[in-house]
C-alpha cells in the first residue's frame, strides 16, 4: 500500500499488486482501503508506482520553465 501525505487528508491510495500476491490478499487490501475512505487504484510493483512516475515529468518541466524565465516561483 502506498499512502500520500498528509494521510488523513489525501484520499488516494495506491494498491501495489505484485506477481506473488494472491487475488484474495489483493481484494482484502482494496476493500480495506475503501473502508477507511480512500480511493484505491491498482498498480504493478514498479519504481515510482503511478503517481510519482507521473509527477516526475511535471516537476522537470516546471524547473525548465523557471530556468528559462517562462514562469516565476
Whether 70 has a pLDDT exceeding 80, the answer reads: yes
pLDDT digits (tens, 9 = 90+) for 41-64: 999 999 999 999 999 999 999 999
* Distance, CA of 22 to CA of 32 (rounded, Å): 15
pLDDT digits (tens, 9 = 90+) for 9-30: 999 999 999 999 999 999 999 9
Catalytic residue status for 58: no
Model confidence band, residue 72 (pLDDT cutoffs 50, 70, 90):
confident
Q: Which one is catalytic: 2, 30, 40, 49?
A: 2
Domain boundaries, given as residue ranges, for the chain: 2-68
Task: Give pLDDT, residue 71.
Answer: 84
Phi/psi region, residue 21 (left: phi>0; alpha: psi -120 to 50; beta: rest), is beta
Amino acid at each position: 500500500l502506498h499512502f500520500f501525505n498528509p494521510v488523513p487528508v489525501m484520499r488516494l491510495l495506491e494498491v501495489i499488486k505484485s506477481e506473488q500476491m494472491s487475488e484474495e490478499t489483493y481484494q482484502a487490501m482494496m476493500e480495506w482501503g475503501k473502508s477507511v475512505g480512500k480511493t484505491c487504484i491498482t498498480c504493478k510493483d514498479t519504481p515510482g508506482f503511478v503517481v510519482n512516475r507521473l509527477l516526475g515529468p511535471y516537476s522537470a518541466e516546471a524547473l525548465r520553465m523557471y530556468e528559462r524565465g517562462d514562469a516565476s516561483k
